[in-house]
Structure 1
Amino acid sequence: MKRFFLLTAMFTLLSVFSIHAQRVTGVLSGFKAGINVSSLNSDATEIDEIDARVGFQAAFFVEIPFSRSFSFQPELQYSAQGGKLEEFRVNYIHLPLMLKYNVTDYLNIHLGPQVGLKIWEWEQDQNDNFNNLNYAVSGGLGANLSDNFFIEARYVYGLSNITEDVNELNVDQDIKNSYVQVSLGYRL
């Protein structure tokens, strides 16, 4: 039930930004998709030895300019993360809140926090091993290929423990998710 309310709140927030975007001149919206290469970080040696998972990610975004150089970009993003081993796979809906600085007309840097809601995990013996919420900070570079197309590369560093009960996964340390994203996007 908590997941339903949080997911509803996330969709509502992005809808409000989208409606506002249609009324304000210069506000853009669009979508992007690409890959994640995610890894699990922990003090536990057995976690660090798990291979990275290559997964899919896609997002809808609204870009709200403050000035020619600065803008705010909330996103609603699906992301496949975790490790390569099945028991460490988990998928999220993220809400990144990015501040963008346009270095030039073609290059930008962006930085911001994000919150994630778990929507799926590989279930071994029907156990719920991963927390429903996770928090992270992300930053990256973007390059405009044209007025509509762009590419982005982003690094996301997990701040919160993603595991519900570390004993179920036979680990006795906190586990955090970190990943690199590469995306191709289109502004509407």
Structure 2
Amino acid sequence: MNVKKLLSLVVALSLFSPLYAQWAVGGQVGLNSSSVHFPGSGGVELGSKYCMGLNGGFFAQYQFSHYFSLQAELLYMKGGYELEDFIYENVGEIPLDVDVSLHYLEIPVLAKFTHRTGLNLQLGPQVGFLLKRRLRYGEEVQSQALLGKKQPLDFGLAFGAGYEAKNGLFLDIRYLLGLTSIYKDVEGFQNRTFYLSLGYKFDL
């Protein structure tokens, strides 16, 4: 999009938004189920077991109308993945379960399309900043060197649906499709996460 088109979009929004436009803020907390998809032999994509985690944070929303809004969020999310009967080279030759924990600070920016019934659809990009990671191989916590080079940023596409009551309470179900590998030196390890969140919003 060039500068002229961007300015035209801003002008168009400024003409219509004063009829309703308002800010809203709120908070949310919930559960998530996360995994990764990674390349297998012969080009076949494989998946790990899903593991449970927590998410929560705050958001700000700009409502252009009753039916359309933009929402930016600041969330903490504990994700990761599990593998069964996996062998790590240089550690041992006995297959053991692997549990990888990934802690992110996430910033999704979502377009929300809301029906008059309170149901809504959500879609937008998301970036995650890796705060911490941990590898458990069998019963022991291993050196993070086994996880390869740290990838500090995770980019993805978030989409989902929700319901918002008139009193401001809402329930969201969302899915994150990771677009970048979670390891710098290994391609194809991409996050896959389901979110279930309960929150409250109030208008400013």
TM-score by length of 1: 0.76
CA distance in 2, matches of 1:143, 1:185: 11
* 1:42 matched residue in structure 2: 38
- The Cα of 1:49 is off from its aligned counterpart by 5.2
Change (3 A) 1:84 1:146: farther
Alpha-carbon distance between aligned partners in 1 of 2:70 and 2:48, rounded to the nearest angstrom = 36
Q: Cα deviations across residues 51-73 of structure 1 (Å, max 9, x unaligned)?
A: 11110000200110112211000
- The aligned residue for residue 189 of structure 2 is 175
Amino acid paired to 1:144: E
Worse-superposed segment, 125-134 or 174-183? 125-134
Partner residue of 2:143 out of 108, 125, 132: 125
How many residue pairs match? The answer is 159
Q: Residue in 2 aligned with 1:92?
A: 104
What residue number does 1:66 align with? 64
What is the CA–CA distance in structure 2 between the aligned matches of 1:70 and 1:177, rounded to whole Å? 28
Highest Rg: 1 or 2?
Answer: 2
CA distance in 2, matches of 1:150, 1:65: 16
Instruction: Map 1:132-143; keep pairs closer than 5 Å.
Output: 132-143=152-163
Paired with 1:163 and 1:29, the residues of 2 have a C-alpha distance of 34
Say if 2:75 is the partner of 1:77: yes
Partner of 2:26: 30
Q: Is the 8 A contact 2:103 2:133 kept in 1?
A: yes
Structure-2 separation of matches of 1:174 and 1:59: 29
Is the partner of 1:42 in helix, strand or coil?
strand
Letter in 2 for 1:160: T
Cα distance 1:48–1:187, how it changes in 2: closer, same or farther (>3 A)? same
Separation (CA, whole Å) in 2 of partners of 1:69 and 1:102: 5
Give SS of 1:96's match. strand
Percent identical residues: 30
1:184 is matched with 198
Retained in 1: the 8 A contact 2:100–2:134?
A: yes
- Which ranges in structure 1 are unaligned for 5 or more consecutive residues? 1-23, 167-172
CA distance in 2, matches of 1:49, 1:103: 35
Question: Deviations 1:133-184 (Å, cap 9, x if unpaired)?
Answer: 0100011111013422110000110000111233xxxxxx520001110000
**CA RMSD, Structure 1 to Structure 2 (Å):** 2.3
Which residue of 2 is the match for residue 162 of structure 1?
A: 182
Where in structure 2 are there 5+ consecutive unaligned residues? 1-19, 84-97, 136-141
